Amino acid sequence: NAGVTQTPKFRILKIGQSMTLQCTQDMNHNYMYWYRQDPGMGLKLIYYSVGAGITDKGEVPNGYNVSRSTTEDFPLRLELAAPSQTSVYFCASSYTPNSPLHFGNGTRLTVT
């Protein structure tokens, strides 16, 4: 049972490049989330999804996009990378809206 799997673990991007952070879960959870974690700060919600085909913005969605074509996968897209997007990105999922979150191990992204 892998839980929540994120790839890649690390990535360095140049300003203006684009990339997709992958997230997949094998727990059949409907609810999935993308957070970013900056040093000394808590996690900020970027986007979330309550089921396949349904996504919505979180607290800091600018510069990102998501899709949810299957229950298992919830990729996060950065179209035009900026230094302000340097962060650690975590994908999480939950069984119900009130259930604890299950987190992946994160993707450390640096934009230079």
Partner 1 sequence: AQSVAQPEDQVNVAEGNPLTVKCTYSVSGNPYLFWYVQYPNRGLQFLLKYITGDNLVKGSYGFEAEFNKSQTSFHLKKPSALVSDSALYFCAVLTNAGKSTFGDGTTLTVKP
Q: Which is nearer to partner 1, 14 or 97 (CB)?
A: 97
* Three-state secondary-structure class, residue 77: strand
Closest approach of partner 1 to the CB of residue 90, in Å: 6
Q: Which is nearer to partner 1, 23 or 78 (CB)?
A: 23
Who contacts 27 (Cβ-Cβ below 8 Å, separation ≥6)?
Answer: 1, 3, 4, 93, 95, 102
Closest approach of partner 1 to the CB of residue 28, in Å: 16
Cα-based angle 58, 63, 80 (whole degrees, multiple of 5): 160
Residues that bind partner 1 (CB under 8 A): 4, 31, 33, 40-43, 45, 48, 50, 56, 58, 90, 92, 94, 96-98, 100-106
